[in-house]
Amino acid sequence: MNELRKKYYPTVLQAIHLLILYIFIQSLVDFPLAMIDYFKDTEYLYHPIKKIGLGVGSTVFILIYGFRKSKAQLFDVFPIKFFNPFISSPQ
């Protein structure tokens, strides 16, 4: 009756934590830029390089953070599965 259960990361609560962390990182940068834009009548917040950098940077941070918290091998967390592109659906 004593079965070993494999623990997976993230659980539902841990996934919510990662999502809140992502939103916090976004807000940490966006809020000061929005305040600067409002008071100085600039458009720092809408600069495309900033938006791309923040979006990619925070996503990569969350992926690395989650990978390290999982304490698993790289290919267990991010498996590479090949598929045949020539398979068509039956008609």
Report the mean per-residue pLDDT for the chain: 83
DSSP string across 22-79:
HHHHHHHHHHHHHHHHHHHT--STT-HHHHHHHHHHHHHHHHHHHHHHHT--HHHHS-
Q: What is the token pair recorded at 89?
A: 């659906």
pTM (two decimals): 0.69
Residue 89 has a pLDDT of 64
Quote the pLDDT of residue 79: 77
Q: Quick check: 63 pLDDT over 60?
A: yes
